[in-house]
With several copies, the nearest count.
Chain A
Amino acid sequence: MMYLEKYPERLIDEEGNRLDGRKFDELRPIKIEVGTLEKADGSAYIEQGKNKILAAVFGPREAHPRHLAMPDKALLRCRYHMAPFSTNTRKSPAPSRREHELSKVTREALAPVLFLERFPRTSIDVFIEILQSDGGTRCAGIVAASLALADAGIPIRDLVTAVSAGKIDDQIVLDLDDIEDKAGQADLPVAMLPQSGSITLLQMDGEFSKDEFETALNLAIEGCKKISIMQKEALREKYAAPREEAHEDEKSQEKEA
């Protein structure tokens, strides 16, 4: 703890602007890239504000150690892990209890879109690495992980999407960053399936009245829908591009012909 964190007295100014200038319903700037890594079967990278997160997928592959293999479906494993340098104070590389819990709820958030029963005796392994952490990493990790699953060519029902809503200075806002999370009043991370509207991750801490909770949940769902569009664009960017090139190749061949 070289630097003691100090929080400002107000998180929203009189004009309704948050510390980084966002309005209550605004997402942080998001940059998504699919297929970032060479050696993984599928991968994706997301920046959301100062968050920098890599997700990679291996599988379906032979489950190892073998006694974990299941005769009727694939074993889905998920590891949410923070780099030692991702936080203000260095984090020990050994997984904390928080990381164990987030690995579990992330796996449960992703599982509903997979057809695990199609790949008996195998494992599907999802690795999420938080390279830099600035609030909302579990949701951003899920966003990247579902793209990595798609990039790995693993059949999925839908692209899981996720973002949190929260309460700061008594207002319900979207997509808390680290300061808003720590100095704020409540945090509500949500993951959902955009097609069906089903919620696959829901956690909450802080304090919400029933009405505040409903407002926050709806705001998170709206945020999820926006991120869902960005996810599809990122996929298209990777997979449409070559096709267009191929298309152009065809055209040029036609010309030549």
Chain B
Amino acid sequence: MSSAFMEIASKIKHKQIADLIKREKRLDGRTLTEYRDIEILVGPITKAEGSAQVSLGKTKVLVGVKIDIGEPFPDTPEDGVLTVNSEFLPLASPSFETGPPDENSIELARVVDRGLRESKVLDTKKLCILPGKKVFVIFVDIYILDHDGNLFDASALASLVAVITAKIPNYEIEDGEVKILEGLQDLPVQDYPIATTFAKIDNSLIVDPTLEEESAMEGRLTITTKQNGNICAMQKGLEGTFTVEEIQKAVITAQEKGEELRAKALGVRNG
């Protein structure tokens, strides 16, 4: 296909999407604030201390949590460490390339990280083993397997489920050394942050955009809410702009959607 032809095709598709949205409809029949089918698979990677695979429609994200014992940061000597990393695997999309994380991958990881960190999902004090010397280090690795849009929400949800279902070993301190004991315990989970991402297309906001919808998206807004409904992280992306009213409306929807998705996450955890 010639590039000129592809551009025309893409403009037609864009117009079609936008026209539908004006009439509060979408290509796949959803309402503007409806998520695609959500599937959550808990613990697919048994070698990881925690893991989860989340599908939003055809988007598929796998998150593994590895836990090690390491040193705390010098400015927070009594806190465990949480780090989030993301890889846009080249097998997930023809547009992803091999190589170190690009700015999109970094932004995704940092937005997920902010949601987990700012909601205080874990009580990091309880992850301290020997103050200033040994703490649990939690690595959250986001692996994008199939990219059909809305990587932010899928990654945030999979990360949450992987973290809240992860286990650390029982241990005791003997003469200043850590001794690993039999048995496992849960991480000190405190909250359940949920990210909801809005795509702005021709002055309308929709949630959970597909890749096709993202190609028509001018602006992106991710709002992460805590279990109490409060907001703990936001991120506007892309070159489009938002009005104050749009943002306020989005906050309300994010609170609703947060409750809906949080129930699913807690469901799989407890089930």
Contact = CB atoms under 8 A, between A and B. Distances in A.
Instruction: Let me know if chains A and B touch directly in the complex, using CB atoms closer than 8 Å.
Output: yes
Contacts of A93: 85, 87, 141
Contacts of B67: 2
B114 A200 contact: no
A39 B234 contact: no
A85 interface: yes
Contacts of B233: 204-205
B244 A197 contact: yes
B252 A85 contact: no
A173 to B, nearest CB: 17
Given A54-B145, A89-B68, A210 B92 contact: no
Contacts of B85: 84, 93
Given A1-B74, A84-B85, A133-B47, A38 B64 contact: no
Contacts of B107: 100-101, 104-105
Given A1-B74, A52-B44, A108 B239 contact: yes
Contacts of B69: 2
Given A54-B145, A129-B89, A210-B255, A108 B238 contact: yes
Nearest to A76: B239
B242 A207 contact: no
A134 to B, nearest CB: 8
Interface in B224-255: 226, 229-244, 247-248, 251-252, 255
Q: What's the dominant secondary structure at chain B's contact region?
A: mixed
Interface string A221-250: 100000000000000000000000000000
B231 A213 contact: yes
Contact of A38 (B46, B48, B146, B243): B146
B100 interface: yes
B77 to A, nearest CB: 9
A108 B221 CA distance: 13
Contact of A3 (B58, B104, B180, B231): B180
B51 interface: yes
B66 A90 contact: yes
A89 B62 CA distance: 18
Contact of B239 (A85, A90, A112): A112
Name, among A97, A103, A196, the residue most crowded by chain B CB atoms within 10 Å (CB to CB).
A97
B65 interface: yes
A196 B145 CA distance: 35
A198 B248 CA distance: 13
Contacts of B106: 97, 100-101, 104
Contacts of A97: 106, 109-110
B98 interface: yes
Interface string A1-29: 11111000000000000000000000000
B202 interface: no
Interface residues of B, number: 69
B150 to A, nearest CB: 14
Contact of A206 (B118, B141, B148, B221): B118
Given A98-B110, A132-B45, A198 B66 contact: no
A50 B231 CA distance: 29
A120 to B, nearest CB: 14
Contacts of B68: 1-2, 89-90
B93 interface: yes
23 contacts: A2-B169, A3-B169, A40-B92, A86-B45, A90-B68, A93-B85, A93-B141, A97-B109, A100-B106, A101-B106, A105-B237, A108-B239, A127-B89, A129-B91, A131-B45, A198-B243, A199-B241, A202-B221, A206-B232, A208-B231, A210-B251, A213-B251, A221-B244
Given A2-B69, A97-B109, 11 more contacts: A37-B92, A38-B60, A83-B143, A85-B66, A86-B45, A104-B237, A108-B238, A132-B45, A198-B241, A209-B231, A217-B247
Q: When A and B form their complex, which 4 residue pairs have the shortest distance between CB atoms, in order from nearest?
A: A85-B64, A56-B91, A198-B241, A204-B234
Interface of B: 44-48, 51, 58, 60, 62, 64-69, 74-75, 85, 87, 89-94, 98, 100, 103-104, 106-107, 109-110, 114, 117-119, 139, 141, 143, 145-148, 169, 180, 221, 226, 229-244, 247-248, 251-252, 255
Interface of A: 1-5, 37-40, 43, 50, 52, 54-56, 58, 61, 79, 81, 83-90, 93-94, 97-98, 100-101, 103-105, 108, 111-112, 125, 127, 129, 131-134, 188, 193, 196-210, 213-214, 217-218, 221
